[in-house]
Chains A and B, each alone.
Chain A
């Protein structure tokens, strides 16, 4: 009998193949975007060159990238951390806004010197993010209510809240839809990149270390992978679920704090460039690894920045979102296909 080939599905995909699948997804998506651009009359290669030149060719470009990376690392980390315990935090966007809201409250209304205000803003922002995920967390922990929807619904509420506050109650008299400048700010350390970047990277590395090298991290990983096994081993499943989800919210709140204290310096309607949603993409690309998030955030920042650069060519940030969606779609498919291999008949 002639040897024939068969498709087999393996129980796990090797990390190498999964990585290759992701790379392929990104390349395919960008190629597709290029084709669509070409069809609308633009020259994709030229545009690509322009994007790379603008991003890496000048210090301004690199600064823009650096500033974009900061919130993306943290929102990506927020989603990744929640995934470690098996939860979907789609509410990073809302927790971002909630963190910014609380930090702004401190920065606008407390009459103390900046050296005191700044740390307090951090505390407030972290608290705000955690508070914003509290109800979905409790609902999941005690009622097994799907957190995906509850966290997401609160996004809309947070955005409306910040919108209201920055156009009414806290509005700066001279501005239309923003508050006045906050009384404290995070100092810059390279061009317009502020110390938020090292902070974000350190937080990501700290979480990675915690997950890999602490008893708590071991238990969290087990609870996230199989709660039944965790119960069998006597681990406090519910307590870990609550702690980790609150941590996830806190990290997203920190992202919001860094954004208003370091980059925007005031509270206004659209402070988030969809960072919360892009954070999901960042986490998925990094396979929920806390270290990997740093790199996929850089990639995502590049994609986002390209969208901004190409606005002069008529491209909108919504087009970037669409391409991001396509990358996510192809990544999901690639993740599944990575389990398959062609095997020869054992003749």
Chain B
């Protein structure tokens, strides 16, 4: 690529190979809005950056909602495929993360419904695998461990209300609809969940 145009000095255009090496880097640092726009434009590399950036959290949320890691992987994969198709129409690209959260929680809830319909009882689920940090000196880490454990100890229904409210930001009405109950029940579940978590954190302190 040429560096000057008509004799006037101009910003140098990098050699193609350098562009390729650094393009993944610059995409990794681009804002959510930029990535959303580019991926909506058809840029697969930008979409990859989106998947790498948001995939892990989506998987954690799906896994806690569903109770298994394996299904969580499927749900996240499906969510990204859906996202790919709808990205071009995303009105507020800066709200990419919330939008992705919404897709993955919806799909996880759909799975739960399917399970219920097929009478797969999942009330007994293993606690979340705890990836403990070997270094127990940092208080912040302990605090996060404590809240993670606290949420994990919640009964299933309360935990789902918690996740949908605190992590995914859904309204009571949305949560009620998703879980097949009423907003006032959701409010009650949340209150119980909050009391438990507060008590758990209190003990930790």
Say whether A associates with B: no
Give the A-binding residues of B (Cβ under 8 A). Answer: none
Binding site for B on A (CB under 8 A): none
